[in-house]
Amino acid sequence: MPLTAEQAMLQVQERLKSLKTLVCEIETERKRNETNINNVMRLTKMSSEDKSPALNHKLKTLYKVGLQDAIQEEALIRQALAKIQDIRNIRNERRIQARNAGNKETIRRGALMKMLQISAQTLPLFVSKPGEKIPHLCGSIPADSSYIAKPGDMVAALVKSEEGEENWILAEVVQYVSSTSKYEVDDIDEEQKDRHVLSRRRIVPLPLMRANPETDGQALFPKGTTVMALYPQTTCFYKAIINQLPQTANEEYEVLFEDPTYPDGYSPPLFVAQRYVIAIKQNKKTTS
């Protein structure tokens, strides 16, 4: 059942309390871990001169303790991130309910651009555990062929203008109608206020998680790959080439957009967040 505003508020408050507790636990764990790390560094320096079995044994013990401490800290951080995602989901559910009730908020273009940027920066970060498979819709990993985007999800949608020109735009899923195998999507650009009914062939779900370059670089597009990327300060996707990969979780792709106005056919390097860089969809045949 849909949440009432009061229920949503209570659920958010509950998760915020849990999040606060987890943050305090993480800080306590981190301070405790620092003591062990300092001891490891001190004994490591001593071991360069003292090769005694007793010192080596002590170092091994400290390394084991440090490993367990790191596992515990990681578990707490993952729990905190899960709470944050819960809060995001609750707020998004309320936003969708308001839209369906006809209370869609009008967002100015400048605010929209800022919102899209923040949305990309705060997209959940996937950090794999040893041997863990990278899930679909993480970084460059596409959706499974049977995947159906949910209401409120962001997608790239291939739409036709009144002049007959086709463009890939940023859109939000309103619903998927299984009887017709078609999506209803809203143009994210408030100035357009267009709703489109499109076949699955014309929809590309955007990533639901960022890939961590330091642990899951295989979930990033290789340098030189031709992709579709959201042109900065617009809501349209255009062909581009990956020029540089992000090196940290907070960095963006550096891309070169196809642009015939430049002598070499490409724009100067521009930065685009992982969320707005997708594989080119090869459509043998597209229908509305």
User: SS3 of 131, please?
Assistant: coil
Question: Phi/psi of residue 68, each to 5°?
Answer: -65, -40
Q: pLDDT 10s digit of each residue in the chain, 288 long?
A: 667 878 888 999 999 999 999 999 999 999 888 988 998 888 888 877 777 888 888 888 998 988 899 889 989 998 998 899 889 888 888 877 777 776 666 678 888 899 899 999 989 999 898 889 999 999 999 999 999 999 999 999 999 987 888 999 999 999 999 999 999 999 998 666 688 999 999 999 999 999 999 999 999 999 999 999 999 999 999 999 999 999 999 999 999 999 999 999 999 999 999 999 999 976 554 444
Global confidence as pTM: 0.79
**CA 107/CA 189 separation, integer angstroms:** 9
Nearest CA to 40 out of 71, 62, 14, 15 is that of 62
Q: Are 120 and 274 in contact (CB under 8 A)?
A: yes
Beta bridge pairs of residue 235: none
Model confidence pLDDT, tens digit, residues 96-122: 777 777 666 667 888 889 989 999 998
